[in-house]
Amino acid sequence: MLTDQVILVTGGAGFIGSNLITRLLREGRRVVCLDSFNDYYDPAIKRDNVAPHLKEKRYSLIEGDIRDEALVARLFAEHRPEIVVHLAARAGVRGSLKEPALYVDVNERGTAVLLEAARQHKANQFIFGSSSSVYGADSPLPFSTEDTALHPISPYAATKRAGELLCYTFHHLYGLNVLCARFFTVYGPHGRPDMAIYKFTKAMFEGRPISVYGDGTSRRDYTHVDDIVDGLVRSMGREFGYEIINLGRSDTVMLNDLIAIIEREVGGEAKIERLPEQPGDVPATYADIEKSRCLIGFDPKVDIREGVRRFVAWYREAFGLAASSRSQTRSPKAE
């Protein structure tokens, strides 16, 4: 259904953001994308992500940093977004171990700048992209939003939990309508190249070893980006007050099993380099999604075998690989 409601997506050139915007534009929504095109990974990939969107009349791209208060204020004054989907962040556990102060500055101060702008301009809803990493290593499985999540084990996780608390404060003080969505190991087309499924697929096609930290028995709740996007779209326009939900597949997959699934789709055996477990990593993630089912009708559809099949098919097409090819050096082309 067409709507004149303006939706601001921060980090809209990134993985989840660009997939979300594709869905919103397909539905006839008006979208403003704010992205800094930072160098956490190759900005050319993000340029490719937004290229199809630039052709759409209902799309506006603003390049800038969420910490830039003047820029954010101008954006809100000009475009008057009614819904804010805040996905911009410095991402990744390992990066946060190297640059904790940067992660705090971007993820916490940037979120505060956006919350204040949303408050001042009376946005109807603020959706915050959080992470399963907030649960830490001692939360019981499956991870429930009833857990206090007081023991994050990486600076990245701590900044995401802090973002949730900032959101609560703005709800408590000013009545801002907020939903915090905790994402569980998202993968799929246009994925981040630092994530396991992307890295392993790339390495296998290139005939290089894949780095496996630990013995391969760690488990993750891998969630296809289409399901995450569906959860976000289902959340829009609802009056929650303040709520936290999990967006995950609610199905854990052992790392060794994931590698076997990718091997089957790529058509070859992985060369595995075993490395010590990494600080900040948790042994397992597993989403309790009963609350999200009840609140938004969330119902993930894509299991890991189908999801990996779709990803490898996208990867082949994006890099111009024949079914038997095992080499690529180019950036993915825009779809």
- Residues with catalytic roles: 156
- With a CB cutoff of 8 Å and minimum separation 6, the contacts of 252 are 219, 220, 221, 284, 285, 286
Task: Report angle CA 11, 16, 286 to the nearest 5 degrees.
Answer: 125
Burial of residue 294 (number of CB atoms within 10 Å: 0-12, 13-18, 19+):
exposed
| d(C-alpha 265, C-alpha 267), whole Å | 5
Q: Which residues of 24-42 are buried (b: 16+ CB within 10 A; e: fewer)?
A: bbeeebbbbbbbbbeebbe
Sheet holding 30-35, edge to edge: 59-63, 30-35, 6-10, 83-86, 125-131, 178-183, 242-247
